[in-house]
Amino acid sequence: MQLTLFGATGAVGRRVLDEALARGHDVVAAVRDPDRARSLPDAVPWRVGDATRPDDVAALSAGQDAVVAATRPPAGAEPELVRAAEGLLAGLRDSAVRLLMVGGAGCGGRTGSRTWTSS
């Protein structure tokens, strides 16, 4: 399969990347920070893109079979998960590209009395 992976340099994303490569998939890593792309294997092509931006998602998913999202914002910026989900869904809305969102514990919930939701 031809995959685009958002969050490829993170803890979960790197495991997804390694597994996808081991299974013979072609993966393009989408990174927000080009400096973090240095941690990727040399054979993995990467492009700058942000899951919260539908135009980035649409451009990076063109010609792909699926997009895998393994994004995790820094502590304190958890509402960004909602913006990422919205950007991914909007960017893929008019395509036949499949979306798989993966994450770990603490992917959503409450902080104090504030619920993370879309505004």
Model confidence over 30-55: pLDDT tens digits?
A: 999 999 999 999 999 999 999 999 99
Between 37 and 74, residue with greater pLDDT: 37
% of the chain at pLDDT higher than 90: 76
Helices (H) and strands (E) in the chain, counts: 3, 7
Which H or E element spans position 84?
A: helix 80-92
The domain that contains 40 carries what CATH number?
Answer: 3.40.50.720
Sequence-distant (≥ 6) Cβ neighbours of residue 38 within 8 angstroms: none
How much is the pTM?
0.84
How many structural domains comprise the chain?
Answer: 1
Angle between helices 80-92 and 54-61 (to 10 degrees): 50
Between 26 and 80, residue with greater pLDDT: 26
Q: Which domain holds residue 77?
A: 2-115
